[in-house]
Amino acid sequence: MVENEPCPLEWSDLDDAELLLQAANTAGEISLKYFKAANEVWYKGGDSPVSEADQQVNIYLKRTFEFTRPDYGWLSEETDDDPVRLDKQKVLVVDPIDGTRGFIEGRPEWCISIAIVEAGRPVEAVLFCPAMKRMFQASAGGGATENGTPIATGIPEGLPKVTGSKKLITTMRENMSRMVDVTDFIPSLAYRIAMVATGELDAAFARPGASEWDLAAADLILTEAGGILTNSQGEVLGYNLEQVNSPALIAASREHHTSIMKLAKSGGILQ
Q: If you average pLDDT over residues 248-254, what whole number do you get?
A: 96
Percent of the chain residues past pLDDT 90, beyond the cut: 87
CB atoms < 10 A from the CB of 35, how many?
19
**Which DSSP string corresponds to 69-94?**
-TTSEEEETTS---GGGGG-SEEEEE
Contact present, 132 and 151 (Cβ < 8 Å): no
Give the per-residue SS3 of 182-211. ECCCCCCHHHHHHHHHHCCCCEEEECCCCE
pLDDT tens across 175-229, in order? 888 889 999 999 999 999 999 999 999 999 999 999 999 999 999 999 999 999 9
Provide the pLDDT for residue 6. Answer: 63
pLDDT tens across 84-123, in order? 999 999 999 999 999 999 999 999 999 999 999 999 999 9
pLDDT tens across 214-236, in order? 999 999 999 999 999 999 999 99
Q: Is 37 left (phi over 0), alpha (psi -120 to 50) or beta?
A: beta
Q: Where are the domains of the chain?
A: 2-150, 161-266
Q: Fold identical between 2-150 and 161-266?
A: no
Contacts of 207 (CB under 8 A, 6+ apart): 164, 165, 167, 168, 248
Q: If you average pLDDT over residues 118-133, what whole number do you get?
A: 98
Task: Work out whether the CA dihedral 179, 260, 113, 11 comes out positive or negative.
Answer: positive
Provide the pLDDT for residue 5. Answer: 64
pLDDT band at 271 (very low <50, low <70, confident <90, very high): low
pLDDT band at 2 (very low <50, low <70, confident <90, very high): very low
| This prediction's pTM | 0.95
Torsion from C-alpha of 111, 187, 100, 85, nearest 10 degrees: 60
pLDDT tens across 36-83, in order? 999 999 998 768 899 999 999 999 999 999 999 999 999 999 999 999
Fold (CATH) for 161-266: D-Maltodextrin-Binding Protein; domain 2 (3.40.190)
Provide the pLDDT for residue 1. Answer: 38
Instruction: Kindly tell me if the per-residue pLDDT of 7 is higher than 80.
Output: no
Of residues 82 and 9, more confidence is placed in 82
Does the domain at 2-150 match CATH 3.30.1330.20? Answer given as no
pLDDT band at 264 (very low <50, low <70, confident <90, very high): confident
